[in-house]
Amino acid sequence: MQQSSICYLNGDFLPLEEARVSVLDRGFIFGDGIYEMIPAFSGHAFRLQEHLQRLQNSLDAVHIRNPHSLEEWSQLIHAVIEKNRTGHQAIYLQVTRGVAHRDHAFPDVSEPTVFIMSNPLPVSREVKPVSATILEDPRWNNCDIKAISLLPNVLLRQKARERGAYEAILIRDGLLTEGAASNVFIVRDGIVRTSPKDSRILPGITRDLIVELLHKHEIPCEEREITEADVRAADEIWLTSSTREIVPVTQLDGVPVGTGELGPVWRQTVELYQSFKDTFTGAEAA
Ligand code: PDD
Q: Is 106's pLDDT higher than 60? A: yes
DSSP readout, 199-246? TTS---HHHHHHHHHHHHTT--EEE---BHHHHHT-SEEEEEETTTEE
Q: Please state, as a whole number, how many other Cβ atoms lie within 10 Å of the Cβ of residue 2.
A: 13
Q: Say how many Å lie between the CA of residue 149 and the centre of ligand 1.
A: 13
Tell whether 284 is covered by a domain.
no
CA torsion sign for 127, 211, 274, 286 is negative
112: which DSSP letter?
A: P
Residue 85: pLDDT band with limits 50, 70, 90? confident
- The last residue of one of the domains, among 74, 99, 120, is 120
Share of the chain above pLDDT 90, in %: 92
Same domain for 191 and 159? yes
Nearest-5° Cα angle at 133, 128 to 134:
135
User: Which pTM value belongs to this model?
Assistant: 0.96
What range does the domain containing 166 cover?
A: 130-278
Q: Say how many Å lie between the CA of residue 201 and the centre of ligand 1.
A: 10
With a 6 A CB cut-off, is 132 part of the ligand 1 pocket? no
pLDDT digits (tens, 9 = 90+) for 236-273: 999 999 999 999 999 999 999 999 999 999 999 999 99
Report the number of distinct structural domains present in the chain.
2
CA torsion sign for 102, 94, 242, 16 is negative
pLDDT digits (tens, 9 = 90+) for 33-83: 999 999 999 999 999 999 999 999 999 999 999 999 999 999 999 999 999
Same domain for 215 and 147? yes
Tell whether 113 is covered by a domain.
yes
> Which CA distances in Å does 214 have to 177, 221, 268?
20, 7, 10
Same domain for 115 and 37? yes
- The last residue of one of the domains, among 100, 120, 140, is 120
Three-state secondary-structure class, residue 286:
coil
146 is catalytic: yes
Nearest Cα residue to 167 out of 123, 132, 200: 132
Mean pLDDT of the chain: 95
Same domain for 173 and 40? no
